[in-house]
Structures are given as C-alpha cells and as structure tokens.
Copies of this chain bind each other. A is one copy, B any other.
Amino acid sequence: MLSNSCKYAIRSVIYLALNSTVNKKIGSKEVALKLNMPQAFLAKILQELTRKHLISSTKGPKGGFFLTDENLNNSVLDIVSCVDGLDAFNVCFLGLRTCSSSKPCSVHHIVEPFKNDIFTQLSNNTITQFANDIRKGTYFISLD
C-alpha cells in the first residue's frame, strides 16, 4: 500500500523526532546506518521532505537534519501525502472505478473501514504523538 520510499520516510522522520534537536542535527548517513536503509536513496527522500518543509536541514559541519516545532506538529499523513500522494486511500481494492458503498465490490465492506481507520490514525496524530508512543513503549519502531 505504501511505497518503499514512503516507509523509509516515515521511519526516518520518527527517528529524527526521537533523536535529533536543532542543536544535535543528524546526517543522512547516520539515519541510513541506524535504520538499515540505502544511504544515497534515503538522502534523496530526506531532500524531498526538506524541500516540502516537512523536516529541516542545514549544510556544512555540524549540519544535518532535524525537526522544528512546526515539523513536529505535522501528521504522519502529511509525510505519506508528500511522498506517495493519497491515491491509495481513494481506490478500490479490486481496481473498480465505480466501487462505492451503494455499489460495493466483494471486499468493499472490509476494505472501507480499514482505509478509514488507518487514515484517521495517520491524520489525527502528530509526529510528536507518534514519537511519544514510542518513548512510552506503547508502540515500537525497531531499528531494522
């Protein structure tokens, strides 16, 4: 459902939320190493997130990526929207153009509530809230 790029993006942003501050910026190299992602590819993704103001960066020595308070108040859905767009939440599981609650496909009644739930979960919670749940040990974002 989410692209590889998007999964990398989400995990990276949460990593930055948990580990970086404006005084402790983190390079794409460290993120890639810690989260086991291809470094150059991740750099491109972080570059894109920076351009769209979802994360922040500075160049040079002691430079790197970090999150401002504004960045922290974005939702995870903002990340998804930036990287993948929101199409995934608006298309029929079986690829039917005309699928709807009044003309449901065979799995519509299963897929629709799921899409709503996941959409709500991703849009109603900020990066900060996601990070806090990790800090508390409610959820886990393993360093794969």
Contact = CB atoms under 8 A, between A and B. Distances in A.
A95 B142 contact: no
A41 interface: no
A104 B139 contact: yes
Interface in A96-129: 96-99, 103-108, 110-111, 114, 117-118, 121-122
Interface stretch (A1-9, A22-30, A50-58, A63-71): A1-9
A129 to B, nearest CB: 9
Please classify how large the interface on chain A is, using the bins under 10, 10 to 19, 20 to 34, 35 or more.
35 or more
A86 interface: no
Identical chains in the assembly: 2
A75 to B, nearest CB: 12
A121 B108 CA distance: 11
A1 B4 contact: no
A4 B144 CA distance: 29
Interface of A: 1-2, 4, 7-8, 10-11, 76, 93-99, 103-108, 110-111, 114, 117-118, 121-122, 130, 133-134, 139-142, 144
